[in-house]
Chains A and B, each alone.
Chain A
């Protein structure tokens, strides 16, 4: 064997470029997750209030982001915003925006279902000692439902990280996009470059997501034990 395929990873700046791509994906995912979770908590709380109009609007928002495939959302924001609203954003910003809104929508549902699973009596008890509505959420409802929300939130996080692999479709220089360029550029020298590059990307995503998945399972098991106790 004149050369082993794995060397494609170490040719020139390939490795740095791949890791740089991963950094872009991770950065977009991270910002979207943090902002999305914060926004989602607020929206989730609003969805448990009794205002019917607010409920309908937030419900439609959730359904829109849940039903429309992420690719379509990305295209929608990437092509339609500049064309029809003359808002020019670079691809990374569009990606962060779309992902944030998506996370917020999904998170609002996680928070809502967590909050409504707190027994009705707890609300009465909180009101009976004079708590205001914000205090009721702050000291009673959120702390009691957060345990229930964590596993679903971690799973959402994993999904977001995985879905960053779609970012190349709006030309973000993410890890997949970089990988494809490397494969194409080295097509002559490394016929099975795709195997090594995508294999490497697989490992990178695995390293990002697997700990989260283990963590979620761990918390779920702990929760089960606690409830049995």
Chain B
């Protein structure tokens, strides 16, 4: 097993002349949960989107399993089967049923057998308590249900790394718990995860490492949970206070 699953070195990104990510460096060890915190507009989403090629960047080197990533569409298309991503707005495909949403990747991208993929999908649906919704269309589901399906859709590809981009931010408060529980379960099973969230209690509960981002730069990089009790910078302390944490 590799020591570092993902390594980010000197990542810089700009939109036109506006620099949005400044010299980002960090690495993610297998089986760990990294939480990415920071105020709105600090570049969290942009950073996480760079990690599976949904955003291009100007300079810097990403490596996955010690292999440098050559940022071409082809490389990313291959890598995305190993790096799953869940979005704030769920983004299930409205033209497909729940089960077809889940099976699209395994069948068409990974060309796996229907029997085997279906068996896995059924098992995953059971784990998120949505067995009965296999044949429903996304529009028939609540936000929380959609988000759990979106997580299953990403997991169905058997990824080694999962990116979560503010996945509870558009949910009603009572829907949030179910989604967070699914993520906690994943963490327990040693899924490597990078999580952008504003749920501070959840963040503290799940984090093995914390990255605190402001204005596109990493201000704090903390092992364990001490970020929440002993933030190093004033800015991080202010941020925690403002989150009423």
Contact = CB atoms under 8 A, between A and B. Distances in A.
User: Which interface class (under 10, 10 to 19, 20 to 34, 35 or more) fits A?
Assistant: 10 to 19
B203 to A, nearest CB: 23
Contacts of B52: 128
Contacts of B73: 133
Given A121-B89, A130-B78, A130-B157, A143 B108 contact: no
B87 A131 contact: no
Given A135-B108, A139-B104, A139-B108, A128 B93 contact: no
Given A135-B108, A139-B104, A139-B108, A129 B91 contact: no
Residue among B49, B53, B94 facing the most chain A CB atoms (10 A cut-off) = B94
Contacts of B144: none
A125 B91 contact: yes
Interface in B134-193: 150, 153-154, 157
Given A121-B89, A135-B108, A135-B109, A127 B95 contact: no
A132 B81 CA distance: 11
Interface string A103-130: 0000000000000000001101111111
B153 A129 contact: yes
B54 A131 contact: no
A130 B94 CA distance: 18
B7 interface: no
Contacts of A133: 73
Contacts of A126: 93
Given A121-B87, A121-B89, A124-B87, A129 B95 contact: no
A128 B104 contact: no
A133 to B, nearest CB: 8
Contact of B93 (A127, A130, A132, A144): A144
B80 interface: yes
A144 B93 CA distance: 8
Contacts of A121: 87, 89, 91
Contact of A127 (B54, B110, B153, B154): B54
Contacts, number: 65
Given A121-B87, A125-B87, A131 B108 contact: yes
B166 to A, nearest CB: 13
B105 interface: yes
Nearest to B109: A130
Contacts of B80: 127-130
Interface residues of B, number: 29
A140 B109 CA distance: 13
B92 interface: yes
Given A130-B109, A144-B94, A124 B77 contact: no
B38 interface: no
B224 to A, nearest CB: 30
Contacts of A139: 93, 96, 104, 108
B84 A128 contact: yes
A129 B153 CA distance: 8
B85 interface: yes
A124 B54 contact: yes
Interface string B87-114: 1010111111000000011001110000
Given A129-B84, A130-B77, A130-B109, 18 more contacts: A121-B89, A124-B49, A125-B150, A126-B93, A127-B76, A127-B77, A128-B54, A128-B84, A128-B87, A129-B105, A130-B80, A130-B105, A130-B110, A130-B157, A131-B105, A132-B77, A139-B93, A143-B95
25 contacts: A122-B91, A124-B87, A125-B87, A125-B92, A127-B54, A128-B85, A128-B154, A129-B80, A129-B81, A129-B84, A129-B105, A129-B153, A130-B78, A130-B81, A130-B109, A131-B104, A131-B109, A132-B77, A135-B108, A139-B93, A139-B108, A140-B93, A143-B95, A144-B93, A144-B94
